[in-house]
Amino acid sequence: MISKITIDKVFEQLLVEEVIGDFVQLKKSGANFKGLSPFSNEKTPSFVVSPVKQIWKDFSSGKGGNAVAFLMEHEHFTYPEAIKYLARKYNIEIEETQLNPKDKEISSERESLYIVSEYAKKFFKNTLNNSIQGKTIGLTYFKERGFNSDTIEKYDLGFSPNEQSYFSNSAIEKGYDKGFLEKSGLTIFQNSKSIDRFRGRVIFPIHSMSGRILGFGGRILNTEIKTAKYLNSPESLIYNKSKILYGIYFAKQEIAKLDNCYIVEGYTDVIQLHQKGIKNVVSSSGTALTADQITLIRRLTSNITMLFDGDKAGVNATLRGIDLILSAGLNVSICAFPEGEDPDSYSQDRSFEEVKDFLSENSQDFIQFKASILAESSKNDPILKAKTINEIVNSISIIPDRIKQEIYVKHCSRIMDVSEEVLFNSLAQRTKNEIPVISKKRIAKVEKTPKNKKINILFELEKKIIEILLLYGHKEEQFEEVLLNKDDKGNIILEPTIVQTLVYKKIFLDLQQDEIEFTNDSFKILYHKIIHELQENEKLILDVFLNSLDIELSNQVTTILMNEEQYQLHDWLSKDILVKNKDKVVGQLVTETVLRLRTYLINEKVKELQLETKKSNEDNSEILKEINDYHKLKSLLSKKLNRVI
């Protein structure tokens, strides 16, 4: 694990605007920066970065947080990967907490394999671009496939000469350990001789989600040699073929942004489509799609479109993959290319718009696809047609979402001309659940949302208190306390007095005095966390505090903190709408908010007591007295509130 010292150093040195500026074009806007959302397609900026608060908020998607949260959302890093990325960016040495000897050995071996793989990537790239064989054989092949220089560079494509130990000798001379060269699969040792696994092949490095090199794929170019056309790295501590997807590092942002992932078969399919502008594409590297690969995609989207050429092997692989995707709860569509074409060949001589339109117009849901494929063999044979329908119902049965099941049953009923009742009964037998047949006479009752939705005053007041604590909880402010006294005639009068204290202490004592508890669960958790942090340290570093929260709470905090930044986005000043600067009236803001909360709660209590008197036929004198006392208290609070305002 990364040590707390390293994490603290990272947060001390990072600047959120610098980190995000590497991925999003930001423009200065007052005290903040703004830009176009990297999580959605938009023309008007709704993405705001606050250097003062060291947080960001995307008002189009609702996402927000600190620099680490941005990397986890945008780059889909894990938390440790984000910290390590920032440590490298700011040249901070990463310290690990003490591991037991076995874990330490595994961690060391894994890192050594990454280092060897990184060296191999650079070696193969250099050989491709600077050696005679690389230029005449490797580069020529890539150019013939239609790959331009930028694409070749981006995907780290390389070449390994057709010599027995060309790479291995170089690596050993550079001091790389033979054991790790062997474990990575780059070198095969036989009778003290080293043999390059990928000799005579063009090289396709395989990147992890965070961009590290896990392994390699190599394609033989000499057709006279009797060997596999494609060769992959063997399994290792860092490379597990069933758990990775080729191209995921370059596709992840577009997959998340467009909410769809195209899956193709080969490396060149991915590269060609990406170069054409279809960037949300990955490959299962020639193997059948696995549950682990689907899990990887599910981190980015719930929609998958499988692209395949029309041969029998491709169809069968697609049919197997469909059920696996459906069982994971994802949506799946299929797009078949014309006979003799694959994604690579089809997109080479066509424009981006042509390829995009083809994918859009020819993608069909799994029922249409299965119906067309299976019906082709059944023709007019009723027995084969029944088999086709059963195949489709089998696929529907593994979908975990009951609502989706019902929708697909209706869809299947229309396409295959079979009654819904029969399909539901067949489905029930498979799922062993009673799935009710939907009556055509049943009319769904939809509640109309009122045009003028009532504002939840309590929610807004509780949110305001959280906002004040986050922004000003550590500040010392002057507060006007109003004491109750009696004049010479016995009348109650208000005598103001000035006290100076920390904002969080003032709020904490005021709420405790009236035994006020937050009603919103999230605000309740945040309130106690903030008070605890301020009591412990008398300060609250926002980006560090956000780091201690889960994603849901972190999003809520950034939404609260960046609320006023929306004024900048809408340029309210140009419309002569002035936004009050709270910094200048913090004491007044605190007092006013707490008083309004107390007044609101008194009103609610009075309503509750009045309702009680209506329900009861007994003597209500005690309740009426309590109501009267609350009215007096409300009157005093109103006087205090008027003084504050």
Answer yes or no: same fold for 4-89 and 101-239: no
Percent share of the chain, pLDDT over 70: 81
Q: CB of 58 within 8 A of CB of 558?
A: no
- CA trace torsion 520, 522, 526, 529 (10° rounding): 110
Higher-confidence residue of 371 and 240: namely 240
Q: What is the CATH number of domain 101-239?
A: 3.90.980.10
pLDDT band at 438 (very low <50, low <70, confident <90, very high): very low
Q: What average pLDDT does this structure show over 113-141?
A: 95
Of the listed ranges 165-169, 252-256, 383-387, 493-497, the one predicted with least confidence: 493-497
Q: How far, in whole angstroms, is CA 610 from its chain's centroid?
A: 49
Answer for the pair 393, 427: CB distance below 8 angstroms, yes or no.
yes
Architecture of domain 248-378: 3-Layer(aba) Sandwich (3.40)
Sequence-distant (6+) residues with CB within 8 A of 346 are 337, 338, 355, 358
Mind giving me the DSSP string for 24-72? S--EEETTEEEE--SSS--SS--EEEETTTTEEEETTT--EE-HHHHHH
**Which helix (DSSP H) or strand (DSSP E) does residue 632 occupy?**
helix 621-644
Side-chain-side CA neighbours of residue 620 (13 Å): 12
- Give the amino acid at 469: L
Torsion of CA 599, 603, 605, 607, to 10 degrees: 180
Residue 189: in which H helix or E strand, if any?
A: strand 187-190
Residue with tokens 């007295």: 625
Cβ atoms 166, 203 nearer than 8 A = no
- Local confidence band at 183 (pLDDT 50, 70, 90 cut-offs): very high
Find the range with the poorest average confidence among 191-205, 308-322, 379-393, 426-440.
426-440
Whether the Cβ atoms of residue 314 and residue 272 lie closer than 8 Å to each other: no
Q: What is the pLDDT of residue 314?
A: 57
Higher-confidence residue of 214 and 633: namely 214
- pLDDT tens digit sequence for 402-414: 888 888 888 888 8
Across residues 332-357, what is the average pLDDT? Answer: 90
Higher-pLDDT residue of 21, 610: 21
Residue 428 has pLDDT above 50, yes or no: yes
Are 367 and 313 spatial neighbours (Cβ–Cβ below 8 Å)? no
Let me know if domain 4-89 sits in CATH 3.90.580.10. Answer: yes
Give the span between the Cα atoms of 48 and 565, in whole angstroms.
Answer: 7
Q: Is the pLDDT of residue 567 over 50?
A: no
Most confident among 398-402, 525-529, 633-637 (mean pLDDT): 525-529
Q: What integer best gives the mean pLDDT of the chain?
A: 81
**Helices 382-397/366-378 angle, 10° precision:** 160
Q: Which residues contact 561 (CB under 8 A, 6 or more apart)?
A: 50, 53, 55, 57, 467, 470, 471, 542
* Whether pLDDT at 448 is above 70: no
pLDDT value for 444: 34
pLDDT of 572 strictly over 50: no
**The predicted structure's pLDDT at residue 113:** 92
pLDDT of residue 521: 87
Q: Detail the DSSP E strand segments found in 228-378.
A: 230-232, 261-264, 281-283, 303-308, 331-336, 363-365
Q: What is the pLDDT of residue 194?
A: 92
Mean pLDDT of the 334-348 span:
88
Among candidate residues 76, 25, 19, 16, the one with its CA nearest the CA of residue 546:
16
Three-state SS at 98: coil
Residue 316 has a pLDDT of: 65
Containing 201, the helix (H) or strand (E) segment is strand 201-207
Residue 645's pLDDT band, with cuts at 50, 70 and 90, is very low
pLDDT at site 256: 81
Averaging pLDDT over each range in 117-131, 236-250, 497-511, which range is the top one? 117-131
The answer on pLDDT for 21 being more than 50 is yes
Q: What is the pLDDT of residue 482?
A: 60
Domain ranges of the chain: 4-89, 101-239, 248-378, 381-439, 457-566+581-644
> In the prediction, which pLDDT does 311 show?
59
Mean pLDDT over 534-543 rounds to 78
Between CA 120 and CA 239 the distance in angstroms is 15
Confidence of residue 570 (pLDDT cuts 50, 70, 90): very low
Q: What is the dihedral of CA 493, 496, 501, 504, to 10 degrees?
A: 50
Between 442 and 268, the higher pLDDT residue: 268
Is pLDDT above 50 for 573? Answer: no
CA dist 174 and 181 (Å) reads 12
Beta strands in 208-365 (DSSP E): 213-220, 230-232, 261-264, 281-283, 303-308, 331-336, 363-365
Least confident of 135-149, 443-457, 616-630: 443-457
- Give pLDDT, residue 617: 65
Which has the higher per-residue pLDDT, 372 or 267?
267
Least confident of 299-308, 517-526, 585-594: 585-594
**pLDDT classification of 215: cutoffs 50, 70, 90:** very high
> Token pair 């989600």 is at which residue?
209
Per residue in 33-84, pLDDT (tens digit) is: 888 888 877 778 888 898 878 889 888 777 888 898 888 888 877 788 888 8
- CA–CA gap between residue 548 and residue 538 (Å, rounded): 17
Q: Assess contact for 587 and 478: CB atoms under 8 A.
A: yes
d(CA 539, CA 533): 7
